[in-house]
Chains A and B, each alone.
Chain A
Amino acid sequence: MGKFLHAFFSPLGFRHAVPQVWDGFQTNIKLMVIAEILVLFFALGFAIVRGLPGRATWPLRVLAVAYTDFFRGTPLILVAYVWGLGIPAIHAGIISNQSLFTYGVISLTLVYTAYVTEVYRAGIESVHPSQRMAARSLGLTYAQTLRYVVLPQAIRRVVPPLLNDFIGLQKDTAIITVIGVTEALAQAGFYSSDYFLYVGYTVAAVFFVILTIPFARFTDRLIKQRELRERAQLV
């Protein structure tokens, strides 16, 4: 027991490990923020494409389905290896000359866009067809209906599952360590091999948890505020 406490919770080790792991954790935050913004953007695009009407758009729809099927089924660690190790090795000009950080962002974005596309799609499909009908009957175009009537309702419905996926993404930034990006987990590893203490991992865990909690509370509050504003007061 004493050994265990010492290895994972040594107070002195804690003090040393915090700055070092924090150094790496900033990279996790950057990976997360950039990937999340890209994911939000691309996933919305794919979800819209999947819902396009008409026969002429079927090749686009097929592409979008193929994309989500493929990247939802592929482990992130594999995608990261392909980009972080494979792509630079083939010397394919500009695409092989990016930083490891960039390959990390690409890997996270590719995989999580596939998940989030499905989340958006579920949200879009949950908006009752009568809402589209009402909007179209007022003379709004397909695009205007989507923009002003369907998407605002769809997106607010999927905020909780979206948040869930983003917590997943936050944690998975640690996987990017395998291609050599020096993030929190890598720093924790350096620390443990330098001092034979595992406190670094504890610190990294605490950082990850601390990051997700306010995020979750914020979303709870957002949902509650909207409900108060729009729902009828209970008499």
Chain B
Amino acid sequence: MNSANGHFVILDGVTKRFDELTVLQGIDLTVDLHQVVCLIGSSGSGKSTLLRCVNLLEVVDEGTIVVDGETITNGDADVNALRRKIGIVFQAFNLFPHMTVMQNITLAPRKARGFSKEEAHSLARELLGRIGLLDKADEYPDRLSGGQQQRVAIARALAMNPTLMLLDEITSALDPQLVSEVLSLVRELANTGMTMIIATHEMSFAREVADKVCFLDGGVILEEGTPEQIFSAPTEERTREFLARIIEAGRL
């Protein structure tokens, strides 16, 4: 299951450019199985891009990424097989608007995992029960609240039974009163041992669930450590500035 040196995800010198702009600059990061890693930093620091590189939604320009012992950046990785074991949830939910909640969740299990309709439906019902939205199975996404939509998006990703979940600022598009219902679902995932990389602006949440926190600034991981180290005793000036601004905004 694990690669030789014990890490489930290894990023080594990952660099990503969009034309002239370098978004990620030599990122080194390891994530162990059952670990929750939170990426913090201001918008544009490269958090989302980093997540997208891990499931090859973005192609890295330099460096290597190893997932579950397999190098995925050498060009001949089976992209679809890789993505089946990595779930990603986006800031904007990205549910399929022409499908019901049930269809949203069952599409990938049926088409990519080869589940029968019955198998996929019973799996979806189980997941919907877990997120408390069983009664919304036949609704279309536009009829749900933002928080409900995001929970469905999480269920949709979980339906592929992923070993790793990537959460890309999943509460940033939500009204404040809807944030907690989504976060408590993520907390529950963390408690069940799901390996996760979470890009977030919710500092108190990061402090609570993370095993490791990385502060990204200008495309590099400026500082990483336990939540205690990063939030209570940051060593870098930029980290202190960032956290001061967050506290000012009342988000810690």
Chain A residues in contact with chain B, CB under 8 A? 130-131, 133-141, 144, 148-149, 152-153, 156, 229-233
Residues of B within 8 A of A152 (CB): 98
Pick from B81, B92, B143, B156: contact of A138, CB below 8 A.
Answer: B156
Nearest CB of A to B160, in Å: 6
- Assuming A139-B81, A232-B143, is B96 touching A134 (CB within 8 A)? yes
User: CB < 8 Å: which of B57, B92, B97, B113 contacts A137?
Assistant: B57
Quick check: A133 and B57 within 8 Å, CB to CB? yes
**With contacts A131-B96, A230-B97 known, is A141 near B142, CB below 8 A?**
no
User: Does B80 contact A140, Cβ atoms closer than 8 Å?
Assistant: yes
Q: Which 8 A-B pairs have the closest CB atoms?
A: A139-B84, A134-B94, A138-B108, A139-B112, A139-B83, A230-B140, A137-B88, A130-B94
Interface CB pairs A-B, < 8 A, 28: A131-B96, A133-B90, A134-B95, A135-B96, A136-B83, A137-B83, A137-B86, A137-B88, A138-B83, A138-B108, A138-B156, A139-B80, A139-B84, A139-B108, A139-B113, A139-B160, A144-B112, A148-B107, A149-B96, A149-B107, A152-B98, A153-B97, A229-B140, A230-B98, A230-B142, A231-B142, A231-B143, A232-B143
Considering the complex, give the chain B residue whose CB is closest to the CB of A233. B143
Check A131–B94 contact: CB distance below 8 A.
Answer: yes
CA distance A140 to B156 in the complex (A): 13
| Given A139-B80, A139-B108, A148-B111, A133-B140 contact (CB < 8 Å) | no
Interface assignment of B55: CB less than 8 Å from any CB of chain A:
yes
Does the CB pair A141–B80 fall under 8 Å?
yes
Task: Provide the main secondary structure of the chain A interface.
Answer: helix
Instruction: Name B30-87 residues within 8 Å CB distance of A.
Output: 55, 57, 80-81, 83-84, 86-87
Q: A136-B83, A139-B108, A230-B142 are in contact. List 13 more A-B contacts (CB 8 A).
A: A134-B94, A134-B95, A135-B96, A136-B57, A137-B57, A139-B112, A140-B108, A141-B112, A149-B96, A153-B98, A156-B98, A231-B143, A232-B143
Complex: how many Å from CA A230 to CA B95? 13
Q: Mark B225-246, 1 if CB is under 8 A from A, else 0.
A: 0000000000000000000000
Cβ < 8 Å to A, chain B residues 148-176: 156-157, 160
**Closest B residue, CB atoms, query A141:** B80
Of A136, A137, A138, which is within 8 A of B107 by CB?
Answer: A138
B residues engaging A (CB < 8 A)?
55, 57, 80-81, 83-84, 86-88, 90, 92, 94-98, 107-108, 111-113, 140, 142-143, 156-157, 160
Complex Cα spacing A14 to B84, Å: 68
Q: Point out the residue from A133, A136, A148, A232 that lies within 8 Å of B142, measured CB to CB.
A: A232
Q: In the complex where A152-B98, A153-B98 touch, is A134 in contact with B90 (Cβ < 8 A)?
A: yes
B92 contact set on A, CB distance < 8 A: 130
Please give, as numbers and ranges, the residues of chain B lying within 8 Å of A144 by CB-CB distance.
Answer: 111-112
Q: Specify the chain A residue showing the minimal Cβ separation from B84.
A: A139
Bound: A133/B84 CA distance, A: 13
Q: Which A residues lie within 8 Å of B98 (CB)?
A: 152-153, 156, 230
Contacts of B160 in A (CB 8 A): 138-139
Question: Which residues of B lie under 8 Å from residue A230 when comparing CB positions?
Answer: 97-98, 140, 142-143
Q: Which residues of the partner chain B approach A135 to less than 8 Å between Cβ atoms?
A: 96, 107
Task: Report how far A189 CA is from B157 CA in the complex, Å.
Answer: 65
The answer for the CA separation of A182 and B182 in the assembled complex, in Å, is 67
Please report the C-alpha to C-alpha distance between residue A172 and residue B111 in the assembled complex, in whole angstroms.
Answer: 42
Min Cβ gap B213→A in Å is 24
- The minimal Cβ–Cβ distance linking A185 to chain B, given in whole angstroms, is 41
* Minimum CB–CB distance for B80 against chain A, Å: 5
The answer on a CB contact under 8 Å between B112 and A140 is yes
Q: Inside 8 A of B156's CB, which chain A residues have their CB?
A: 138
Bound state CA distance, A156 and B140, in angstroms?
A: 16
Hey, which chain B residues are within 8 Å of A136, CB to CB?
57, 83
Provide the bound-state CA to CA distance between A66 and B111, in Å: 35
Q: Given the complex of chains A and B, what is the CA–CA distance between A138 and B89 in angstroms?
A: 10
Given contacts A144-B112, A233-B143, contact A137 B55 (CB under 8 A): yes
> How near does chain B come to A39, taking the closest CB pair, in angstroms?
23
Query: B113 to chain A: which residues have CB within 8 Å?
Result: 139
Q: How far is the CA of A152 from the CA of B98 in the complex (A)?
A: 7
Which residues from chain A contact B86 at a C-beta distance below 8 Å? 137
In the complex, the chain B residue whose C-beta lies closest to that of A148 is B107
Q: How far apart sit A140 and B88, CA to CA, in the bound complex (Å)?
A: 13
